Structure 1
Amino acid sequence: MTAPPPTRRRAAARWLRVPRPDAAAVRALQASLNLPEALCALLAARGFTADEAARRYLRPQYEHLHPPEALKDLDVAVARLQRAVRDGEPILVHGDYDVDGMCSTTLMTRALRALGAHVTPFVPDRLKDGYDLGGAGVQAAIDAGARVVLTCDCGTSATAAVAQLQARGVDVIISDHHLPGGPLPPAHAVLNPRRPDDTSPDKDLAAVGVAFKLALALTRALGGNENVVLNMLDLVALAT
């Protein structure tokens, strides 16, 4: 009889008590929104004490979105992708194997193809290739004859692979949301709301949120149909 595999010991959970929200703020939300006290207390505890902020949280609208251009390097990324689409340069969209990475890759691949781009999607094998832009991704770019590599949900720490591709004349555009562990890679553009010099307001975007903003800005720049991107909001919701 085979012995069961050893179990991993989980770290003890730390429970943090949230201060009770201000009772007057809860009552004001109740009167304004006509919602149950418990829900208004949750809103207030999350910092949504102003009427308009609470309404936006509960019923977000398209016009509430911050402009994509608030992301650092977005203009640089859009300009390079515009040129690639216009000149028919092959683009490799390098994703990740989790839900966020797969949805981001799908969104960008569909958006680029709708604009007439020559696109090859690539997702590394979790067990064989591991995480991030690495040797497998570099080889995939070479095999595809890519002149541009766009990462989705990875790349912020892939300094060696980015340098290797850039040395080959392949422009790398990073689209990611992971915390940088050191200096940013020498990419053509790095879209990441968590990079230290990014001043955009959406610091907690999933990678698919970054991809959505890039796809929307690129579609506008090329005079494409924004509905192509907006019709993929189900992917944005799924991965967020």
Structure 2
Amino acid sequence: MRWTVKPKPDAFKIKSLKEDLKVDEIVATLLLQRGIETYDEAKTFFRPSFDDLHDPFLMMDMDKAVHRIEQAIDNNESILVYGDYDVDGTTSVALMSLYLKTRLDTVATYIPDRYDEGYGISYKGIDFADDNDFTLIIALDCGIKAIDKIAYANEKGIDFIICDHHRPGETIPNAVAVLDPKREDCAYPFKELCGCGVGFKLISALASKQGQSTEDLASYLDLVATAIGADIVPIVGENRVLAFFGLQVINTNPRPGIKAIIAEVKKEQLTITDVVFIIAPRINAAGRMKHGNHAVTLLTETDFNKAASYAVDIDQFNTDRREADQRITEEALLQIEENTEQERFTTVVFDENWHKGVIGIVASRLTETYYRPTVVFTKSGNKLAASARSVKGFDVYNALEACSDFIEQFGGHKYAAGLTLLPDNYDAFKIKFEEVVKSTIDPKLLTPELKVDLEIDLKDIDSKLMRIIRQFAPFGPGNMTPVFITQNIKDTGWGKCVGEDNKHLRFTASQNGSKGIVSIGFGLGDKLDLIKNQKSFDAAYTIDENYWNGTTSLQLKLKDIKA
């Protein structure tokens, strides 16, 4: 790992913020690194408020979307709520359909089949709407590049409202309204909403016409927080506010479906990390292994006993997903190891039998292992479908755009994308993708970077610091858990490898004779020799709390150690 220590803020600013907030230098530095320079900004950061959310009508086309939906409600039209099969898509569909059903009976949902229809708006979905007399489709977490599909719907007299957050192409679809803060002509102040976040802004706008405030819609925020965590959007600005209040709902009064998932795993007081690793994979597993409809059914169920039954099924989908992902990852690693004749800047693998539902996870695992922009292909009908993942700092979306001559369709973000191509173009794509990445990537990005906030001494760590750091949550991109380094640490003599296959490292850290603090390094078992025999070493870590036998103590959660 490359350890990169963030620049220390201006000394005058540190002194000023220390005095204004009556905090120590460590806390003032951490806040300044997050762009918080004044008392009022700190108050907004530590005390999120619904008042910090922007007026939804600042979003391009919001007035058009609201007018068309109100027209549909007044005329008792049938509305189809359409969304992608991942967490962001299914939570969006649940949120929009639940809200609309409070005002209209003729509302139905549609999730495309991952294997039959693929990502985004499909002709099959539009035909379903036409056959069943739906006159308005509200598409969430997809649609921004569906130019031909929207034209097809228009021919059939079906109106579309698009709520998306992916990057638009050169042309915006000819829909009644296209809500996407990433539109170049959209002046909405916050650009990083997830799809469910855009959906929430739409129901906020609709509710405001009924005299309701955003706070009146707080019960929907368990869905929004789940989407924010799963879609790995920056937890800053509006996302931070929505995630903060969403976590409150999750931990106090979640909807039956989410409550049932939590009951299955028997976890109390969930953080955004728990949402990412406990709730999100289970919701995702439905679309990966069976059908995204199962997730929407769970998330919209109002009876807890029924939801609990659905949650058992969802949990089984997740178990099946884990088994498939583990097997395919092993096969992919073997494929890579058999083709190491030259150093490559990319990882591209293919097997026609790999499960399409887990290739995104496999791509992430390969990226973690080899730290290269990665594309994992499988067969999907008469085409090849793939998931792409990138390394920090490299835009894989742009790289795919440069390979578009060989691609049938693609879409996504800077770090994650999906694509399809014809089998005959696979080899040409693989060569071109390698060329593009090799010629555009900064070679240092091929070594994992560990961003460090600050160097501190072990004596600086106490319960007061931990209490304040806890208030920095919810953590995520743009507001990660603070990482510290401490130099010249020694193990007090009891360091050892622990866990299955001795993968993990555990020791008690001391610095200049200070009182020892227990330290645990997951996956760092191979670094035991660095701490043996009273050797000095440097450690990068986050500060954590350990609960054991009714006692809470501080511990270091190691990220890396170096001689």
TM-score between both structures, scaled by the size of structure 2 = 0.38
Give the secondary-structure state (helix, strand or coil) at the position aligned to 1:190.
Answer: strand
Q: Is the CA contact 1:91–1:149 (under 8 Å) kept in the aligned structure 2? A: yes
Q: Is the CA contact 1:156–1:178 (under 8 Å) kept in the aligned structure 2? A: yes
* 1:42 Cα deviation from its structure 2 partner: 2.7
Sort the Cα spacing of 1:76 and 1:26 in 2 relative to 1 into closer, same or farther, 3 A: same
Matches within 5 A, 1:35-74: 35=23, 37-74=25-62
Q: Is the CA contact 1:85–1:117 (under 8 Å) kept in the aligned structure 2? A: no
Query: Does 2:67 correspond to 1:84?
Result: no
* Aligned position for 2:218: 230
Which residue of the other structure, out of 117, 120, 145, is the alignment partner of 1:157? 145
Sort the Cα spacing of 1:193 and 1:33 in 2 relative to 1 into closer, same or farther, 3 A: same
Deviates more, 1:180-189 or 1:137-146: 137-146
How far apart in 2 are the matches of 1:38 and 1:238?
31
Sort the Cα spacing of 1:16 and 1:222 in 2 relative to 1 into closer, same or farther, 3 A: same
How far apart in 2 are the matches of 1:15 and 1:182?
39
Q: Is the CA contact 2:56–2:205 (under 8 Å) kept in the aligned structure 1? A: yes
How far apart in 2 are the matches of 1:176 and 1:184?
12
Matches within 5 A, 1:6-17: none
Q: Is the CA contact 1:175–1:207 (under 8 Å) kept in the aligned structure 2? A: yes
Q: Is the CA contact 2:150–2:160 (under 8 Å) kept in the aligned structure 1? A: yes
How far apart in 2 are the matches of 1:222 and 1:143?
32
Deviates more, 1:216-225 or 1:127-136: 216-225
Deviates more, 1:200-209 or 1:222-231: 222-231
Give the secondary-structure state (helix, strand or coil) at the position aligned to 2:116.
Answer: coil
Q: Is the CA contact 1:68–1:213 (under 8 Å) kept in the aligned structure 2? A: yes
Which residue of the other structure, out of 196, 200, 215, is the alignment partner of 1:208? 196
Q: Is the CA contact 1:82–1:222 (under 8 Å) kept in the aligned structure 2? A: no
Give the partner amino acid of 1:170.
I
* 1:227 Cα deviation from its structure 2 partner: 6.0
Which residue of the other structure, out of 83, 100, 115, is the alignment partner of 2:88? 100
Deviates more, 1:208-217 or 1:74-83: 208-217
* Aligned position for 2:116: 128
Give the secondary-structure state (helix, strand or coil) at the position aligned to 1:114.
Answer: coil
Query: Does 2:79 correspond to 1:110?
Result: no
1:130-181 Cα distance to aligned partner (Å, 9 max, x none): 1111223212322332110101100000111111111211110000110112
Give the partner amino acid of 2:100.
L
* Aligned position for 1:140: 128
Paired positions, count: 228
Give the secondary-structure state (helix, strand or coil) at the position aligned to 1:232.
Answer: helix
Which residue of the other structure, out of 18, 21, 34, is the alignment partner of 2:9? 21
Structure 2: stretches of 5+ with no match in the other structure? 229-563
Give the partner amino acid of 1:64.
D
Q: Give aligned-pair identity as a percent.
A: 39
* Aligned position for 2:283: none
* Aligned position for 2:184: 196
* Aligned position for 2:456: none
Sort the Cα spacing of 1:20 and 1:189 in 2 relative to 1 into closer, same or farther, 3 A: same
The structure whose Rg is larger is 2
Sort the Cα spacing of 1:22 and 1:219 in 2 relative to 1 into closer, same or farther, 3 A: same
Give the secondary-structure state (helix, strand or coil) at the position aligned to 2:100.
Answer: helix
Q: Is the CA contact 1:114–1:228 (under 8 Å) kept in the aligned structure 2? A: no
How far apart in 1 are the matches of 2:132 and 2:27?
52
What is the alpha-carbon root mean square deviation over aligned residues? 2.2
Deviates more, 1:170-179 or 1:230-239: 230-239
Q: Is the CA contact 2:59–2:179 (under 8 Å) kept in the aligned structure 1? A: yes
Sort the Cα spacing of 1:20 and 1:84 in 2 relative to 1 into closer, same or farther, 3 A: same
Structure 1: stretches of 5+ with no match in the other structure? 1-12
Give the partner amino acid of 2:21.
L
Higher strand residue share: 2
How far apart in 2 are the matches of 1:42 and 1:91?
48
Deviates more, 1:124-133 or 1:157-166: 124-133
Q: Is the CA contact 2:130–2:158 (under 8 Å) kept in the aligned structure 1? A: no
How far apart in 2 are the matches of 1:133 and 1:155?
6
Q: Is the CA contact 1:115–1:219 (under 8 Å) kept in the aligned structure 2? A: no
Deviates more, 1:41-50 or 1:230-239: 41-50
Which residue of the other structure, out of 152, 169, 178, is the alignment partner of 2:166? 178
Greater RCO (Cα-Cα under 8 Å, separation 6 or more): 1
* 1:36 Cα deviation from its structure 2 partner: 5.2
Sort the Cα spacing of 1:147 and 1:223 in 2 relative to 1 into closer, same or farther, 3 A: farther
